[in-house]
Structure 1
Amino acid sequence: MIDTSIFQDKTAVYYTLGCKLNFSETSTIGKTLREAGVRTARKGEKADICIVNTCSVTEVADKKCRQAIHRLVKQHPGAFVVVTGCYAQLKPDQVAQIEGVDIVLGAEQKKDLLQYLGSLDKHEKGEAFASTTKDICSFAPSCSKGDRTRYFLKVQDGCDYFCSYCTIPFARGRSRNGTIASMVEQAQQAAAEGGKEIVLTGVNIGDFGRSTGENFFDLVKALDQVDGIERYRISSIEPNLLTDEIIQFVASSRSFMPHFHIPLQSGSDDVLKLMRRRYDTTLFASKIQKIKEVMPHAFIGVDVIVGTRGERDEYFEEAYKFLKGLDVTQLHVFSYSERPGTQALKIDYVVSPEIKHERSQRLLELSDKKTKAFYSQWIGETKTVLLEKSKSGAPMHGFTDNYIRVEVDNAPRLDNHLVKVLLGGFNDDETALKGTIIE
């Protein structure tokens, strides 16, 4: 039994980098510390504990992690500093050497954070606790909202795909998950706390069921029955795992929104082969077509990587043409970053940083056109928006069912409320449509 008396009246700050899954897990860590007596430090207050949840998807992400650690150590002198997440798992000894870091917790250890804190005495030298990849095998549940209106439910962790450019299987281990029953229970708890929207998160959520003998479609159907939860969003799902039955179910579902996020990574079949992806552009295009057939109003976000090894000029032009012709709403564009230990390093053809930047800008411009065209279709329409709290006096924002961001006048009483909104033109920075609340 852990003696939590030492945590009473202690304060903590949390810093998260990376994906929605990381934010969900940080929120769960925060909940664990609060239950032990630790409160979140107020703005400007020196904290006793600093938690940094890291990302390592690119070299830039690693650099941002180091910068965040240095900044927190400076802002909170004497604080007990804990670093966890993907960067911590992949390079634990390197992270432990950063000045001010006390402990580094790998993927298997972070769920047991309290037992590693000890008496919160600063260490002369950082200590690293990280299992090897093959020993990352437990599933730590997480369903929390942090400072957000939406809840994030972790349904799956790890990945068995080993794409040539990716280190995630090494950072998070093999695919595993909790049971459908446990997911339903967590969704019910979120509803009891007043939650109305849940985002399903994970590393490869379509692979749900690998460790329990269940499947993602059955999970979706079970969650759809939970009273009180008005909206679910599927955060990201591999195109080869997004079955027609899932698409058809979402189209007629009570609570699953017409909103998909699907990683493509490249619109060139030659590059997809180099990436060791499990589909081709024909399959991807068929999924988009199926979604639009049954949900023409659906928002579809697509991940794309530019400048990967082997992406010759003609391959990028193929990819650009393919993406231009796709009926999708938004492109999430990433520049390829070389990661140690990946198979992509064996590919000879290297794209220069200048060409990567140029390709990235072209796709971002294409994305902007697609998103604005999609938003423009809805000007003058009335949609239901789940509003989120904002700073005092600032406009409130929220999303429609099909993920159009909407800006309305501040009305704190409507935080976490579903309201009817008449959609107008774009706001000043063109990141949302202005809306008028219809009482």
Structure 2
Amino acid sequence: MIDNTIFNDKKVAFHTLGCKLNFAETSAIGKQLTDEGFAKVKTGEQADICIINTCSVTDTADHKCRQAINRLNRQHPDAIMIVTGCYAQLKPEEVAAIDGVDLVLGANEKFNVLEYIQKLDGTEKSEIHRSEIKRVREFKPSCSRDDRTRYFLKVQDGCDYFCTYCTIPYARGRSRNATIPETVAMAMQAVEAGAKEIVLSGVNIGDFGKSTGESFFDLVKALDTIPADVRFRISSIEPNLLTDEIITYISTSHRFMPHFHIPLQSGTNEVLQLMKRKYNRELFAHKVELIKSLLPHAFIGVDVIVGVRGETDELFEQSCRFIDSLDISQLHVFTYSERAGTKMLDIEYTVSLNERKRRSNVLHSLSEKKTKAFYQNQVGNTYPVLWESRHNGEFMVGFSSNYVKVERQYDKKLVNTIQIVTLGEWNDDKSALIGV
């Protein structure tokens, strides 16, 4: 049993890096601490404990994590510094060696942070508590509200794919999830807390049900029938797991928005094979075509990695031509970085860092072209828009059902409400369309 009297009046600071899944998990950890008497630190206050939830998807992510740890250590020099997340799971000794770190918690330990705080012995040496990832089997549900309006519901964790460039299976473990009734109950809790929009999040959410004998499509149908005025979005889902059945169902759903985020990673079958992806570009093109045939105004975001080993100049050019041919709305471009322990290191052909940067710039320009064209095609259309709390004093922003960013005059009463809006032309800085 935890003696929560030692936590009364203690202040805690949180810092989260990486994906929305991390933010949802930080929220769950935060609730544990506030339930036991902690208060979240306010601006200018000194924290008694700092918790950093880290990412480790690239070397750049690792570097940002180290910067965040050092910055928080300077801001709160007397605080207990606790580091968890993917960086802590993959490289615990490296994290523990950072000046000021007191406690390093792995993937299986992060949700027991209170117990580890109690057991700290006060020595100057950093403590590491980290289970072997292959032993991690328990699913920890969590849900967070970001600093805007949307809620992010963790429905799945882990990945069984082991793509040659990726360390996520070693940081997150095997695919696992709660049951559909448990997940629906979490969604209802978010609704009761005021959620008007919930984003389904996970590492590989299309694999939902693998550990419970259910399926992601079963979850979609269950959420679509809950008795609440809420809308859902699906975060990144593998193209081979985004079945035609799911796409067809969403095309007639009132709660699931016409918004898809699908990782492509490369536009050539040769590189997809080097990556050990579970689809080819023909399947990906079919998914895009089906979505657009059923939902012509759907927003489609696509992940792409540039500069992986084996991606020759010719293959990159082929990939660009294929991506340009797709009726998509936006690219999320990632620059490849070598990760220790991955199979891609066995491939001899390497792309120089300067060339990787050039390729990234090429695809960012292509993304900008695609997004502008998509937005321009939406002018004059009418959609429900969920208004967010973000504003610059004069204007506030929201997102349409098909994920168009919309701007209007600020009105506090409209925050977290859905309003039917006709999309006008671009605002002054071309970051959003004006809502009428």
TM-score normalised over the length of structure 1: 0.97
CA distance in 1, matches of 2:395, 2:112: 40
Q: Check whether the contact 1:151–1:197 (CA below 8 A) recurs between aligned residues.
A: yes
Matched, 1:143 2:147: no
Matched, 1:397 2:389: no
List, as ranges, runs of 4+ consecutive aligned residues in structure 1 with deviation greater than 4 Å. Answer: 119-123
Q: Check whether the contact 2:191–2:230 (CA below 8 A) recurs between aligned residues.
A: no
CA distance in 1, matches of 2:361, 2:265: 16
Q: Check whether the contact 1:200–1:234 (CA below 8 A) recurs between aligned residues.
A: yes
Partner of 1:263: 263
Q: Check whether the contact 2:330–2:370 (CA below 8 A) recurs between aligned residues.
A: yes
Partner of 2:43: 43
- With over 3 angstroms needed to count, the CA separation of the structure-2 counterparts of 1:126 and 1:290, relative to structure 1, is same
Please give the residue correspondences for 1:168-207 in structure 2 after superposition, counting only pairs within 5 Å.
168-207=168-207
2:157 is aligned with what amino acid? D
1:192 is aligned with what amino acid? E
Q: Secondary structure at the match of 1:102?
A: strand
**TM-aligned CA deviation for residue 397 of structure 1:** 1.3
Q: Secondary structure at the match of 1:87?
A: helix
Cα deviations by residue, 1:194-245 (Å, 9 ceiling, x for unpaired): 1111000000000001110000000000011112242100001000000011
Partner of 2:248: 248
5+ long unaligned stretches in structure 1: none
- With over 3 angstroms needed to count, the CA separation of the structure-2 counterparts of 1:229 and 1:32, relative to structure 1, is farther
CA distance in 2, matches of 1:16, 1:362: 30
Partner of 2:430: 430
Q: Check whether the contact 2:163–2:275 (CA below 8 A) recurs between aligned residues.
A: yes
More deviation, 304-313/224-233: 224-233
1:66 is aligned with what amino acid? R
**TM-aligned CA deviation for residue 364 of structure 1:** 0.5
Q: Check whether the contact 2:247–2:291 (CA below 8 A) recurs between aligned residues.
A: yes
Q: Check whether the contact 1:198–1:229 (CA below 8 A) recurs between aligned residues.
A: no
Please give the residue correspondences for 1:155-234 in structure 2 after superposition, counting only pairs within 5 Å.
155-234=155-234
Cα deviations by residue, 1:418-438 (Å, 9 ceiling, x for unpaired): 0122322222332211223xx
Please give the residue correspondences for 1:69-108 in structure 2 after superposition, counting only pairs within 5 Å.
69-108=69-108
Matched, 1:291 2:291: yes
2:413 is aligned with what amino acid? R
CA distance in 1, matches of 2:284, 2:108: 34
1:87 is aligned with what amino acid? Y
**TM-aligned CA deviation for residue 392 of structure 1:** 6.9
CA distance in 2, matches of 1:291, 1:281: 15
Matched, 1:34 2:38: no
- With over 3 angstroms needed to count, the CA separation of the structure-2 counterparts of 1:169 and 1:394, relative to structure 1, is farther
- With over 3 angstroms needed to count, the CA separation of the structure-2 counterparts of 1:180 and 1:413, relative to structure 1, is same
Partner of 1:337: 337
More deviation, 420-429/170-179: 420-429
CA distance in 1, matches of 2:14, 2:228: 29
Partner of 1:355: 355
- With over 3 angstroms needed to count, the CA separation of the structure-2 counterparts of 1:371 and 1:122, relative to structure 1, is farther
Partner of 1:384: 384
**TM-aligned CA deviation for residue 119 of structure 1:** 6.8
Q: Check whether the contact 2:14–2:50 (CA below 8 A) recurs between aligned residues.
A: yes
More deviation, 225-234/396-405: 225-234
More deviation, 403-412/204-213: 403-412
CA distance in 2, matches of 1:320, 1:309: 17
1:159 is aligned with what amino acid? C
2:102 is aligned with what amino acid? D
**TM-aligned CA deviation for residue 413 of structure 1:** 1.3
1:176 is aligned with what amino acid? R
TM-score normalised over the length of structure 2: 0.98
Q: Check whether the contact 1:390–1:410 (CA below 8 A) recurs between aligned residues.
A: no
**TM-aligned CA deviation for residue 27 of structure 1:** 1.2
CA distance in 2, matches of 1:38, 1:22: 20
**TM-aligned CA deviation for residue 122 of structure 1:** 5.0
Q: Check whether the contact 2:158–2:204 (CA below 8 A) recurs between aligned residues.
A: yes
More deviation, 31-40/164-173: 31-40
Matched, 1:323 2:326: no
- With over 3 angstroms needed to count, the CA separation of the structure-2 counterparts of 1:19 and 1:231, relative to structure 1, is same
5+ long unaligned stretches in structure 2: none
**TM-aligned CA deviation for residue 323 of structure 1:** 0.2
1:38 is aligned with what amino acid? F
Cα deviations by residue, 1:161-207 (Å, 9 ceiling, x for unpaired): 00000000000001111100100101111111111110000000000
1:361 is aligned with what amino acid? N
Q: Check whether the contact 2:2–2:115 (CA below 8 A) recurs between aligned residues.
A: yes
CA distance in 1, matches of 2:182, 2:229: 16
CA distance in 2, matches of 1:266, 1:435: 36
Q: Secondary structure at the match of 1:118?
A: helix
Cα deviations by residue, 1:369-418 (Å, 9 ceiling, x for unpaired): 11011011122333211011125725211100000011122111111100
CA distance in 2, matches of 1:123, 1:166: 36
CA distance in 1, matches of 2:116, 2:366: 48
Partner of 2:309: 309
What percent identity do the matched residue pairs reach?
60
Q: Check whether the contact 1:12–1:39 (CA below 8 A) recurs between aligned residues.
A: yes
Partner of 1:411: 411
Cα deviations by residue, 1:59-116 (Å, 9 ceiling, x for unpaired): 0000000000000000011011111100000001110111111111100111111111
Matched, 1:130 2:126: no
2:291 is aligned with what amino acid? I
